[in-house]
């Protein structure tokens, strides 16, 4: 069974704070790690997909890293803004089942102005 | 270009009834996946279809079935509804063609919220 765990479950920060979340996943038969951002009343939106150990991706103020050997990924947000408020989901897939994503429960971020 | 569209957006059913949810993928996407999201949990994989064939099935009972049509749209059917089937059902499409080439990056629809009374 592939379990993907995210922490913390929720996070409340002030505008301008930098923050980070953790996603842990089983490292055996790892194929890909995805990060999605899900704003209230909208659809989940893909942020990053990473496959190689040591991968780092960046999109504006948001970046992510991947460690496949120890089975974790970090998502960083630099200088949080109210519009960053959303639930951030990570999802893993395993080799030979690449089409099936196993999602964590998400980290709900609230950024106060 | 239209995104992934799902219908209906909301629906209410009673226990024992049957429901059909519909999904139209992004133009050019041949893979459609269905996920169930219960409040407080992450989306849970139900099915994936590619080129009208089932490519993956999650841990759901046989009451759940799906199909994909020649135009790549898809339907999810749930029979003999239970209270526990109340959830947001998300459809996602992708360019993923199976095998080990590339990762399955999903584009989601807004979901169909099912309430079973």
Q: Per residue in B80-115, pLDDT tens?
A: 999 999 999 999 999 887 765 567 889 999 999 999
- Model pLDDT, residue B99: 65
- Model pLDDT, residue B104: 83
Q: Please give the mean pLDDT across all residues of chain B.
A: 93
Contacts of A44 in chain B (CB under 8 A): 43, 90, 106, 108
Structure tokens at A37: 């951002």
DSSP classification of residue B62: T
Q: Any CB–CB contact under 8 A between A101 and chain B?
A: yes
- Model pLDDT, residue A80: 97
- Model pLDDT, residue A1: 52
C-beta atoms of A89 and B43 within 8 A: yes
C-beta atoms of A105 and B41 within 8 A: yes
User: What are the residues whose beta carbons fall under 8 Å from the beta carbon of B3, sequence distance 6 or more?
Assistant: A43, B26, B107, B109
- Model pLDDT, residue B1: 61
In this prediction, residues A65-76 reach a mean pLDDT of 97
- Model pLDDT, residue A78: 97
Query: Residue A55 and residue A49: Cα distance in Å, rounded?
Result: 9
At B56-74, the pLDDT tens digits run: 999 999 999 999 999 999 9
- Model pLDDT, residue A96: 75
C-beta atoms of B48 and A105 within 8 A: no
In angstroms, the separation between the Cα of residue A15 and the nearest Cα of chain B is 25
DSSP chain A: ----EEE-SEEEEETT--EEEEEE---TTEEEEEEEEE-TTS--EEEEEE-STT-EEEETTEEEEEETTTTEEEEEESS--GGG-EEEEEEEEETT-TT--EE---EEEEEE-
User: What are the residues whose beta carbons fall under 8 Å from the beta carbon of B105, sequence distance 6 or more?
Assistant: A34, A46, A49, B94, B95, B96
Is B32 within 8 Å of B91 (Cβ atoms)? yes
pLDDT at A99 over 90: no
- Model pLDDT, residue B61: 97
- Model pLDDT, residue B100: 59
Contacts of B40 in chain A (CB under 8 A): 105
Looking at A58-62, A87-91, B52-56, which range is the least confident one?
A: B52-56
In angstroms, the separation between the Cα of residue A81 and the nearest Cα of chain B is 24
C-beta atoms of B107 and A46 within 8 A: yes
pLDDT at B32 over 90: yes
From residue A111, alpha-carbon distances to A20, A52, A78, A88, B86 in Å are: 13, 31, 12, 13, 30
From residue A29, alpha-carbon distances to A51, A56, B55 in Å are: 12, 20, 19
pLDDT at A112 over 60: yes
Query: Residue A43 and residue B89: Cα distance in Å, rounded?
Result: 11
How many percent of chain B have pLDDT more than 70?
96
If 0-12 CB within 10 Å is exposed, 13-18 middle and 19+ buried, where does residue B64 land? Answer: middle
Measured in whole angstroms, how far is the alpha carbon of residue A58 from the centre of its chain? 12
Instruction: Tell me the count of A-B CB pairs closer than 8 A.
Output: 76
- Model pLDDT, residue B97: 75
In this prediction, residues A13-20 reach a mean pLDDT of 96
């Amino acid at each position: 069974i592939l379990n993907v765990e995210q922490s913390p479950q929720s996070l409340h920060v002030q505008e301008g704070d930098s923050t980070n979340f953790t996603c842990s996943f089983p490292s055996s038969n790892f194929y890909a790690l995805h990060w999605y951002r899900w704003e209230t009343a909208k659809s989940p939106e893909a942020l990053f997909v990473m496959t190689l150990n040591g991968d780092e991706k960046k999109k504006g103020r948001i970046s992510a890293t991947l460690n496949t050997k120890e089975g974790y990924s970090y998502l960083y947000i630099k200088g949080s803004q109210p519009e960053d408020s959303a639930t951030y989901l990570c999802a893993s897939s395993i080799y030979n089942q690449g089409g099936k994503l196993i999602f964590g429960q998400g980290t709900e971020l609230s950024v106060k102005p | 270009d239209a995104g992934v569209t799902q219908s209906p957006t909301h629906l209410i059913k009673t226990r024992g009834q049957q429901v059909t949810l519909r999904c139209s993928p992004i133009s050019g996407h041949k893979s459609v996946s269905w996920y169930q999201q219960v409040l407080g949990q992450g989306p849970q994989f139900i099915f994936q279809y590619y080129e009208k064939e089932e490519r993956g099935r999650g841990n759901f009972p046989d009451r759940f079935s799906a199909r994909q049509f020649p135009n790549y749209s898809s339907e999810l059917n749930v029979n003999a509804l239970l209270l526990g089937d109340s959830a947001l059902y998300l459809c996602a499409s992708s360019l993923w063609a199976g095998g080990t080439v590339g990762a399955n990056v999903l584009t989601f629809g807004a979901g169909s919220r099912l309430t079973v009374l």
